Structure 1
Amino acid sequence: MSQVRRVVVDTDTGIDDAHTLLYLAGRPDAEIAGIASVFGNCVEEDAVRNIGYVTRLLGLDVPVARGAAEPLAGAARIARYVHGRDGLGDRGYDRPLPEVTGETGAELLVRLAHERPGELDLLALGPLTNLALALRLDPELFTKYRSVVLMGGSGPYADPGTLLMIDANVNNDPAAAEAVFSAPRNRLVMVGVNVTATTILDERAIAALHAADTPRARFASEILETYLDFYQNEWGRRIIPLHDPLAAGILLDPSLATAAVDGPVNVVGDGFLSRARLMRTADGLPPSFPYKPAPDTHVITAVDAPRFVAGFVEVLTR
């Protein structure tokens, strides 16, 4: 078995976040070392209730902290139309508040890194507000994590005429994202919508989840319905992309990334949406406008989607 990665998860616990926690807990090479909640797919209170529901289902005893309920500036955008009002597809689960540490999500991220410097990986699955607040407490925080892997960003500029899914985690708090991409780090990995949109859980894979008679697979398949209702409008099929799980997969197995580019990332807006972009065109050239210098981020540009999806299904149906 490969070396166990001890992962601190920062999550706006919606449907694919819950799938990610199931996936991490089912991997023999992963250990969840702590979880912080944040707004995004649902309000923060629902996010922490969902953390509690999943950890109880899995029998996990890990420190949980309540994080940011709103972005650094402006009002929170909540994706109820994607994940349901409660974040788990409105299935009516009993979700009491879990026992929490009493510290903020940002304080948990800092404390764990200081207690075990160089031993932990930070996996960010929601808006980056907790990470930005943690950087205010310790500007060198990311140098104390072995790696920081985030599901967010849009990769390099795409070929002309190419459209991308919304970069929701960045768009929900652009100021926080800017702080994260400009911070010193050991290794910051961006797993953006440019690659997560290619990892499709198709009808056959969904049928395998439904057929597996385990609590983990039953829960994973139950919460899919609201997500499928949303994504059928993208492709005319009841299939979904595995956004957050892919980030966890790449953290545990970097060979799933078949192409990547190191370079500066800026947060850019067009008046409607904000995205985190590698400051390179599709041809590998700098953009035709000035941009802010930033430390290199490892930006994933292609993945072995079939291998990842097969592995994800195998873990959840094992």
Structure 2
Amino acid sequence: MTAVVIDTDTGIDDALTLVYLAAVGGVEIVAATATHGNCSTADSALNVGHVLALCGLPDVPIHLGRPGPISGKDPRYSFHVHGHDGLGDLGIDRLPGHQSAEPAAEALVRISRERPGEVDLLVLGAMSNIADAIAIDPLVLTRYRSVVVMGGSGPYQPAGTILEVDANVDADPQAAEVVYGAEHGNLVMVGVNVTTPAILDEQFMAALAAKAGPVTSFCSAILGYYLDFYQEKWGRRICSAHDPLAAGILLHPSWITRSADGPVNVRDDGYAVRARLMRTADLELPAFPLVETPDTHVVLDVDQRAFLAEFTDVLANADARLAGEGPGRS
């Protein structure tokens, strides 16, 4: 059984990730902490509560975090990608979740102390809550079995390569700097260098649409808004599986086929901010001084076929799995 705490800015791909973790089997969702990014922290909490209740997990505690970056600046939301409510503006009557009075940062610290070495932390949004937890207890990340972050851009890319925006870092760069600079036991970067090529294609959409259960119907419905955004990138109604891939790697580290360990720095190019493994595409040192930090395990390549096969199977059969009619939860 894998026990996991999910820190999430619950937009569309986060919601798919929650369904995956609820339905894949062998996963205990210990708690969720809500952050900002795809939508507001308040909407993120409502959304995660709705998805967990839809999946038969209404009692998982949800802890609200900061409403914006630790700098105090106004948050910037990805409404154009996820809708103003984070779930595609479908007017969903969101099911009530179990919102706790305990703040997110305090919950993250408490869980790490109560179950040291037993729980994984999956970070899917702006890292404000994680930075706040580190401010309370600088060693908090050392007590999680692993900390898998969907945020970062990997090493510098070959000349001429253009990357997807590093949204979770750009949403709170100071928090990302705190996280990548903190003491940790096993910090894993699953950056846009590997999540962007993880494409949910027309076959995935068809497999999901072929099922009519409440969970699969919800997933198909919210994906419409996401696909509207992505079709302007590639001319096809397909999308990247950013957060789902991070969850898959947490559950299946063997899916990592190439990686590198080294310091990660948060860099501002004047247009956007990225977290970078301080190495070139050839894994050589960059042409400028770097800030030494504890090494992060940076994912460079993954077994996309294995991930997509499992993710498609779990999402398409989520209703049966959650009802105990398939492999389901255990």
Q: TM-score range by the shorter chain?
A: over 0.9
Instruction: For 1:266 and 1:142, locate their aligned partners in 2 and report how far apart those are by CA, in whole Å.
Output: 18
Instruction: For 2:53 and 2:23, locate their aligned partners in 1 and report how far apart those are by CA, in whole Å.
Output: 14
Instruction: For 1:99 and 1:141, locate their aligned partners in 2 and report how far apart those are by CA, in whole Å.
Output: 24
CA shift, 1:96, in A, is 5.7
Find the counterpart in structure 2 of residue 67 from structure 1: 65
Find the counterpart in structure 2 of residue 80 from structure 1: 79
Q: 2:19 aligns with which of 15, 19, 22?
A: 22
Find the counterpart in structure 2 of residue 188 from structure 1: 187
1:287 is the counterpart of 2:286:
yes
Residue aligned with 2:207, SS:
helix
User: Within 5 Å, which residues of 2 pair with 1:237-316?
Assistant: 237-316=236-315
Instruction: For 1:75 and 1:309, locate their aligned partners in 2 and report how far apart those are by CA, in whole Å.
Output: 36
CA shift, 1:198, in A, is 0.9
Find the counterpart in structure 2 of residue 32 from structure 1: 29
Instruction: For 2:179 and 2:107, locate their aligned partners in 1 and report how far apart those are by CA, in whole Å.
Output: 17
Find the counterpart in structure 2 of residue 137 from structure 1: 136
Instruction: For 2:65 and 2:147, locate their aligned partners in 1 and report how far apart those are by CA, in whole Å.
Output: 18
Instruction: For 1:39 and 1:179, locate their aligned partners in 2 and report how far apart those are by CA, in whole Å.
Output: 17
| Superposition misfits of 4+ residues, deviation over 4 angstroms | none
Query: Is residue 199–residue 306 contact of structure 1 (8 Å, CA) maintained in 2?
Result: no
Q: Alpha-carbon deviations, 1:218-249, whole Å to 9, x = none? A: 11111000100000111110100000000000
Instruction: For 1:38 and 1:116, locate their aligned partners in 2 and report how far apart those are by CA, in whole Å.
Output: 23
One-letter code aligned to 2:166: D
CA shift, 1:51, in A, is 1.1
1:53 is the counterpart of 2:50:
yes
Change (3 A) 1:237 1:155: same
Instruction: For 1:16 and 1:283, locate their aligned partners in 2 and report how far apart those are by CA, in whole Å.
Output: 31
Greater CA deviation, 157-166 or 65-74? 65-74
Instruction: For 1:43 and 1:100, locate their aligned partners in 2 and report how far apart those are by CA, in whole Å.
Output: 15
Residue aligned with 2:122, SS:
strand
CA shift, 1:31, in A, is 1.4
Instruction: For 1:288 and 1:30, locate their aligned partners in 2 and report how far apart those are by CA, in whole Å.
Output: 43
User: Within 5 Å, which residues of 2 pair with 1:67-216?
Assistant: 67-73=65-71, 74-95=73-94, 98-216=97-215
One-letter code aligned to 2:238: I
Structure 1, gaps ≥5 residues long: none
Aligned length: 315
Query: Is residue 60–residue 98 contact of structure 2 (8 Å, CA) maintained in 1?
Result: no
Residue aligned with 1:155, SS:
coil
Greater CA deviation, 27-36 or 140-149? 27-36
Residue aligned with 1:223, SS:
helix
Instruction: For 1:187 and 1:165, locate their aligned partners in 2 and report how far apart those are by CA, in whole Å.
Output: 25
Greater CA deviation, 125-134 or 71-80? 71-80
Instruction: For 2:253 and 2:219, locate their aligned partners in 1 and report how far apart those are by CA, in whole Å.
Output: 24
Instruction: For 1:202 and 1:128, locate their aligned partners in 2 and report how far apart those are by CA, in whole Å.
Output: 29
Query: Is residue 257–residue 303 contact of structure 1 (8 Å, CA) maintained in 2?
Result: yes
Greater CA deviation, 156-165 or 212-221? 212-221
Greater CA deviation, 184-193 or 25-34? 25-34
Find the counterpart in structure 2 of residue 235 from structure 1: 234
* Identity among equivalent pairs (%): 54
Query: Is residue 41–residue 79 contact of structure 1 (8 Å, CA) maintained in 2?
Result: yes
Query: Is residue 45–residue 99 contact of structure 2 (8 Å, CA) maintained in 1?
Result: no
Instruction: For 1:5 and 1:129, locate their aligned partners in 2 and report how far apart those are by CA, in whole Å.
Output: 24
CA shift, 1:59, in A, is 1.2
Residue aligned with 1:31, SS:
strand
Change (3 A) 1:98 1:28: closer
Residue aligned with 1:184, SS:
coil
One-letter code aligned to 1:243: H
One-letter code aligned to 1:282: A
CA shift, 1:97, in A, is 5.4
CA shift, 1:95, in A, is 2.0
Structure 2, gaps ≥5 residues long: 318-330
Find the counterpart in structure 1 of residue 41 from structure 2: 44
Find the counterpart in structure 1 of residue 321 from structure 2: none
CA shift, 1:29, in A, is 2.5
Instruction: For 1:114 and 1:63, locate their aligned partners in 2 and report how far apart those are by CA, in whole Å.
Output: 17
Instruction: For 1:286 and 1:214, locate their aligned partners in 2 and report how far apart those are by CA, in whole Å.
Output: 51
Q: Alpha-carbon deviations, 1:76-100, whole Å to 9, x = none? A: 0100000001000011111265332
